[in-house]
Amino acid sequence: MSIWYNHVRTRIRLRALTDNYALIRTRASNPAPVIKSDAYGHGIREVARAFFAAGARTMAAGTVGEAAVLKDTTPESEVLSLLGPIDAADYALVCEHDIIPFAGSTEQLLLLEEAAGKAGVPVRVALKFDTGMSRLGFSADEAGSVADTLDGLTHVRPVMACSHLATADDPAQDEYVQEQAQRFEGILHALHARGLGVQGSLANSGAIFGHPRTHHDLQRPGISLYGGNPFHGTSRAALGQGLRQGMDVVSRLVQVRTIPAGQSVSYGRTFTAEREMRIGIIAAGYADNYSRGLSSKAQMLVRGRRVDVLGRVCMQLTAVDLGPAPEAVVGDEVHMLGGQGANAISVEELAGWWGTISYEVFCLLGQNQREYVD
């Protein structure tokens, strides 16, 4: 949470998240919830406690610093750092908090050995391989040299080999998923042949629901935990049926006014009323991470009815057409995300208006002040 100065409130339903985790456990044998980036804007501490109470014993954060917070919150859990150590402080935190970092370079392994030697503790690592994302990790043909490096280390013990899928949520790119899966299987075979009894971890949310071949020993669900269907809008959308959105975002109606035909609304005069209109001014704008890109595209929920955003979203205010909600009055609660009933605004719908993905919607709107409602 970082936005403290506004009237926007992000409401989190932890029960929805743990219900999603329970659903995922019917599809995956050993899911480790991914709670990176402040639990996708849902709050790392609160979400970690909820998942631990629901039975999760391995969880993953992003940075090492975030992993340390996660370990402090649920000390009995095994904690992965998906980004792994970057600076000297990270290497020390790994040792102090018994974190299992992803390591995708020889330099990281050597620095972990040095830090572990100074701390006098062993360090378990997850070996990160790049099978097709072209981001972090050893290349697929480095498995042998990685084993050679590990042979010379005293304090570093590999317990897992990991990679990440680029297109698991896109049915049109199944072939690339299979290419990555085959490369990863080759990596595991090479490591096991060298006597490294590492577990395999490849599957993300899309793979959990759509690609059983990729499940291996441990799966890493992310967006699906928070109610995002990884196959939304595709031919496989039914695979994510039953996932529940855990975040609502609300503000309030601060002014109601009637404007005549021909009157423009907001900056730049991008909207002009064709008739007399009753409009509302909502206390939310791009400073609250409600994107300016939603100008004249999005809808909000007032008294359970959809109302259109009019003109440009301002820094802390947004205008809407109150025609569908004629009884609305100043002080009414307004949903920018979520709500009750058939008119509730889904994260995928808001992301579509925004021109982005559900991940960004959660991460950004989750920076507003949070309330836990169950």
Catalytic hit among 36, 40, 71, 226? 36
Catalytic hit among 91, 176, 267, 359? 267
Q: Please, is 199 exposed, middle or buried when counting C-beta atoms within 10 Å of its C-beta (0-12, 13-18, 19+)?
A: middle
User: Would strands 156-162 and 138-139 be described as parallel, antiparallel, or unpaired?
Assistant: unpaired
> Can you tell me whether residue 126 is helix, strand or coil?
strand
End-to-end CA gap in the chain: 19
Name residue 209's amino acid. F
Determine whether 36 is an active site residue. yes
Neighbours of 21 (CB within 10 A): 19
DSSP of 216-272, one letter per residue? -SBB---GGGGT--TTTTSTTGGGGTT----EEEEEEEEEEEEE-TT-EESGGG-EE
Identify whether the C-beta of residue 218 lies closer than 8 Å to the C-beta of residue 199.
yes
Q: How far is Cα 80 from Cα 58, in angstroms, rounded to an integer?
A: 8
* Residue 236 half-sphere exposure toward CB, CA atoms < 13 A: 19
Matching residue, tokens 């072939």: 175
**Catalytic residue set:** 36, 267
